[in-house]
Chain A
Amino acid sequence: MNVAELRSLVRHMRDHGVETLDVRERHARLRIRLDPAHPARDDGAPAGRDGVIERRGAAARGRGRALVRADVAGTFADAHPLRPEPFAAIGTPVRAGQVLGLLKVGVLYRPVLARTDGVLARALAGTGAAVPRGAPLFEIRKEEST
């Protein structure tokens, strides 16, 4: 791993609210901890990376944001093949259990479901992207509970 890759990992951690990351490469092991006080950049970098084996804490939760992750490795789509419109548009409210996208594994589509009510803040994967299990696909901004 070189410095550029390290920077990229840190950027991913900030983007997706990851506080602690353990990375294993052959016999080496690296633990990265982010200072929560440090401001996060928002450059919309693509998500998911081989070698990330563990994730601890979720600053995202603390900030009222939740990530929707791939529960299986597959090919992502934000719309049904017969329907041009995405399941949910960025900036619109979504409800827990709502279909946000599809993951295709072989011939079978599996739904990507919102786990929480909120507003769909960001898409983190593009249609046609091959995503690993656990890859963040969407960010949902949780609504203030009143």
Chain B
Amino acid sequence: MIEIVSTRALNTVQDLGRFGHRGEGVCVAGAMDRLALSAGNRLLGNDPGAAAIEVTMFPFVVRFLRDARFALTGAHCEATLDGAAVLPWWATRADAGATLTVGAPLEGAIACLVVEGGIGVEPRLGSRSTDLKIGFGGFEGRTLRKGDRIPLGPAGTARSARPGGWGIDPARLALPPVPAAGETTRTTAVRVMPAGEYEKFPEPARERFWGAQWSIGANSNRSAFRLSGPRLQAQGHGDVMYTHGIVPGIVQVPPSGQPIVQMADANTHGGYPKIGTVIEADRWRLAQARPGGALRFVPATRDEALAALAAERAWLGSISDAVERERSAAP
């Protein structure tokens, strides 16, 4: 078990998401930065879909109630284990009683605390993710609070004896950057494929969509990022269509003309015209963008989207392979 010593609102248990129930109005939920979760699980030799704690509010302090290896992935945070620095994207060991403190991110927005064996809450509808809209799944269907004792899954038998653990490059350095994006630490670039109603937007609106530097609103959250910038307007269908199913990553344009990007807790349906879809491989980049930050959309083809996803999967696979070699080589 681990005990929450100090936390603020909105830190939750998440896995890769809850699938197959959107038709019943149950959103996918799951980690906002699924890549950080997957990489962390692979660093520890966990099941790739094991649940972890998503930390969006800092500082976050937990005490380990048993010996456990853990990894901190996602946002680059100053973190300490009983006062000793913990490296980002690194798997190391905590003794029972040790206290981990995760400070505010130096880069990125969301940290992922992955523990050997995964977070051992009971799955609900096939997932350990917290669904904050309905209030089920995860730890008691809610955000974590001080004093919560979070169960851990059984640790693997292939323990590493190598002192100091091991780590990987953060995803931003390990994966190729979004091409031709001019990405800086202040501006996040994500690739977008045109979606269902793209053609219904007049050419000037499309140009503004691709050309603008969008500002991520302070009212952005796990459900959606709300952007502000030049006004976009669809034609034809009007501004609202019959309600239809939507998925995380969809970029909608409501009558205000200010885009909304659906995130992990995306609504299961909506009625606004869809101008684009953030490709799956870049959703972690968006998740790590901070409210108040700048965002650019870079056009991508289906082939480019698939290639980016393949690069991510190859990287994750190489982490698993390397960790497996380490574990078998360790004394």
Contact = CB atoms under 8 A, between A and B. Distances in A.
Interface residues of B, number: 23
Contacts of B163: 97, 111, 113
Most chain B beta carbons < 10 A, residue from A105, A109, A113? A109
Interface in A68-101: 80-82, 97, 99
Nearest to A102: B167
B164 A107 contact: no
Given A81-B173, A82-B76, A82-B107, A109 B166 contact: yes
Contacts of A105: 322
Q: Majority SS of interface residues in chain B?
A: mixed
A80 B318 contact: no
Given A82-B76, A82-B170, A108 B326 contact: yes
B271 interface: no
A32 to B, nearest CB: 32
A81 B165 contact: no
Interface in A90-146: 97, 99, 102, 105-111, 113
Contacts of B76: 82
Nearest to B169: A81
A85 to B, nearest CB: 11
Q: Which of B88, B164, B326 has the most CB of A within 10 A?
A: B164
Contact of B169 (A107, A110, A113): A107
B289 interface: no
A108 to B, nearest CB: 4
B136 interface: no
A111 to B, nearest CB: 4
Contacts of A99: 87, 164
B10 to A, nearest CB: 24
8 contacts: A80-B87, A82-B106, A97-B163, A106-B318, A107-B315, A107-B318, A108-B168, A110-B162
Interface of B: 76, 87-88, 90, 106-107, 162-170, 173-174, 315, 318-319, 322-323, 326
Interface of A: 80-82, 97, 99, 102, 105-111, 113
Please list the 6 inter-chain residue pairs (A to B) with the smallest Cβ-Cβ separation, ordered nearest first: A111-B164, A108-B322, A109-B167, A107-B318, A106-B322, A82-B76
